[in-house]
Amino acid sequence: MTTGLTKEDIALLTEPQIACVATVNADGSVQLTPVWVDTDGEAVLFNTAKGRVKHQNIERNPNVSVLVVDTNDAHRWVSVRGRAEIVEEGADEHIDRLAVKYTGQDFSPSRQAGQVRITVRVVPEHRMAE
């Protein structure tokens, strides 16, 4: 059963708040990474490059948790657990939008030659919020 994002969740996710994403390593341990996030109104979205640990972990085990805490109010947060979907189409544009949201500049200068970007889409199966 899926649990949808609330309007409060969507508001938080559209702000330039840093999220912590948890994926499962091959040995079963948890890998945590700070990431830029946004939403399509239904899922939490973040972006990474193919071949990185997050990508490898998600390919092997798509169970992901995402926590976003408002940097100005630690009592305003949302935690989402769900199965990650990897989307290649539009991922370059997505990282550019995230870069503008978080830095005010396009991501292009940071792009590495040969790097393939992916958008990770996490549809909430469980959510908690304050």
- Tokens, residue 45: 């979205």
- Express as a percent the part of the chain with pLDDT over 70: 94
pLDDT digits (tens, 9 = 90+) for 80-121: 999 999 999 999 999 999 999 999 987 665 666 778 999 999
- Tokens, residue 34: 């700070």
What is the pTM for the complete model shown?
A: 0.92
pLDDT digits (tens, 9 = 90+) for 38-82: 999 999 999 999 999 999 999 999 999 999 999 999 999 999 999
Q: How far is CA 56 from CA 53, 81, 98, 130, in A?
A: 5, 18, 22, 31
Domain regions of the chain by residue span: 7-124
Question: Which numeric CATH code is attached to 7-124?
Answer: 2.30.110.10
